[in-house]
């Protein structure tokens, strides 16, 4: 209801006190605060982007907030997901988020959808809300959210983050572009690392999520200069903002229905290929690796294919660091070949087993066979040596 009947909306005495700094802004005023109170916003995700977004939307006086999430709070979330606290670790994120929202604004209606949004439920979940905010971190859900917003004619406030860089824009608003104008096709699976693999500066989602909150509030107020048609790029290391123009592509396919977005993004195919590769690859468990190490065997080489800064956090005794990027570029292949010159067998590990399997696949093509450590150093910490930090 982006154009509500303001005569039917009343501000209470508490509202006048709570939102006094809004009310004295000519661009907001009483009518603007009534619009915020009448508005409904759906946030998909309550992680790094959703945390600041939800806090500021609640504080701004949004009358109804919907939240979609099916994850639980983890210790590793707390570095950037500021809506959650230590006491909520192991509990549902949406319950944690609702608790914090109501602490900020007990008059906000909070709707919870503790489910994974998909092609079967997306239209029903999204339909009741005025504005949709994309706080997700994967391509299938981004395409799904975009297409559902196009079909239902809902503004889609978009943000994404990785390491030190973030971007934000507004899709599908007043004839502006949508997500498929920015990314007509998804990248191959695995080409873009997740934050769990590549890391993210803790304050970065705070900046991008706050920008998303700002754009959401501006749309509700009817402000003209939104990010629709403009992609805002932010680099935290350089402390620089850049802006790119976005335009609708007249040749883009017409969105007529929701599809299988996992299939569209190649996820099942990639998982099948990975499963086939692992089935053909010899593996050992971390307990079997420990037995080899404890037996003082000298007929093997254990390589760690993680990045150097990960190696600084934790190591398995006797491992040699040869990062996966070095193996992909070829130099690492020759390093491995040199280590095996005396006929030793190769064992490889990473954080959880995926990157080491990829490294062994590359090495196999170069004529070097090896054994993968199932579960990587994470399993080592959980099953063998709890003093090894989890990260």
Residues of the chain with CATH 3.40.50.720: 39-270
Query: Can you give the pLDDT at residue 207?
Result: 98
Query: Can you give the pLDDT at residue 191?
Result: 74
Query: Can you give the pLDDT at residue 188?
Result: 85
Query: Can you give the pLDDT at residue 198?
Result: 79
- Return d(Cα 313, Cα 310) in angstroms, integer: 5
149 catalytic per annotation: no
CATH class of the domain at 39-270: alpha beta
pLDDT averages per 10-residue partition of the chain, 391 residues: 86 96 97 98 97 98 98 96 97 98 97 97 98 96 98 98 97 96 89 78 97 98 96 98 96 93 90 72 95 90 96 95 96 95 93 93 94 96 95 89
- In angstroms, how far is the first alpha carbon of the chain from the final one? 44
pTM here?
0.84
Catalytic residue among 108, 149, 195, 265: 195
Query: Can you give the pLDDT at residue 131?
Result: 98
Query: Can you give the pLDDT at residue 269?
Result: 86
108 catalytic per annotation: no
- Cβ 162 vs Cβ 200: under 8 Å: yes
Residue from 201, 139, 175 nearest 158 by CA: 139
Catalytic residue among 43, 108, 149, 350: 350
DSSP 8-state symbol, 351:
S
Query: Can you give the pLDDT at residue 296?
Result: 82
Q: Is 236 exposed, middle or buried (0-12, 13-18, 19+ CB in 10 A)?
A: middle
Q: What is the DSSP string of 47-84?
A: STTHHHHHHHHHHHT-SEEEEE---BB-GGGTTT-TT-
Query: Can you give the pLDDT at residue 88?
Result: 97
Q: Return the CATH superfamily for domain 281-383.
A: Rhodanese-like domain (3.40.250.10)
Residues 6 or more apart in contact with residue 165 via CB below 8 angstroms: 204, 233, 234, 235, 236
Residues of the chain with CATH 3.40.250.10: 281-383
Please, where are the H alpha helices in 340-385? 354-365, 376-383
Residue from 271, 327, 308, 315 nearest 289 by CA: 315
């Amino acid at each position: 209801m982006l154009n509500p009947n303001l005569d039917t909306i009343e501000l209470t005495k508490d509202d006048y006190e709570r939102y006094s700094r809004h009310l004295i802004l000519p661009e907001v005023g009483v009518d603007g605060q009534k619009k915020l109170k009448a508005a409904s916003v759906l946030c998909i995700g309550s992680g790094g982007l959703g945390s600041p977004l939800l806090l500021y939307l609640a504080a701004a006086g949004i009358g109804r907030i919907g939240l979609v999430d099916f994850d639980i709070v983890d210790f590793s979330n707390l570095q950037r997901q500021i809506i959650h606290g230590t006491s909520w670790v192991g509990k549902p994120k949406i319950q944690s988020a609702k608790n914090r929202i109501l602490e900020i604004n007990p008059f906000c209606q909070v709707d919870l959808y503790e489910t994974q949004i998909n092609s079967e439920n997306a239209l029903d979940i999204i339909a009741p809300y005025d504005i949709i905010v994309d706080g997700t971190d994967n391509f299938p859900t981004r395409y799904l959210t975009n297409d559902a917003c196009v079909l239902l004619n809902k503004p889609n406030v978009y943000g994404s983050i990785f390491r030190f860089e973030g971007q934000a824009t507004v899709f599908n608003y007043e004839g502006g572009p949508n997500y498929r104008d920015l990314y007509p096709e998804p990248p191959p699976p695995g080409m873009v690392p997740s934050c769990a693999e590549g890391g993210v500066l803790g304050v970065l989602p705070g900046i991008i999520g706050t920008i998303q909150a700002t754009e959401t509030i501006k749309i509700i107020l009817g402000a003209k200069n939104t990010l629709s048609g403009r992609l805002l790029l932010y680099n935290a290391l350089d402390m620089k903002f850049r802006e790119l123009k976005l335009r609708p592509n007249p040749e883009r396919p017409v969105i007529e229905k929701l599809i299988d977005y996992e299939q569209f993004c190649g996820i099942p195919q990639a998982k099948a290929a990975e499963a086939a590769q692992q089935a053909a690859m010899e593996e050992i468990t971390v307990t079997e690796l420990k037995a080899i190490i404890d037996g003082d065997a000298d007929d093997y080489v254990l390589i760690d294919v993680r990045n150097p800064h990960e190696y600084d956090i934790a190591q398995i005794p006797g491992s040699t660091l040869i990062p996966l990027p070095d193996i992909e570029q070829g130099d690492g292949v020759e390093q491995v070949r040199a280590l095996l010159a005396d006929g030793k067998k190769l064992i490889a590990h990473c954080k959880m087993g995926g990157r080491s399997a990829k490294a062994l696949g590359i090495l196999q093509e170069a004529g070097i066979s090896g054994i993968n450590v199932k579960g990587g150093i994470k399993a080592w910490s959980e099953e063998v040596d709890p003093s090894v930090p989890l990260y």
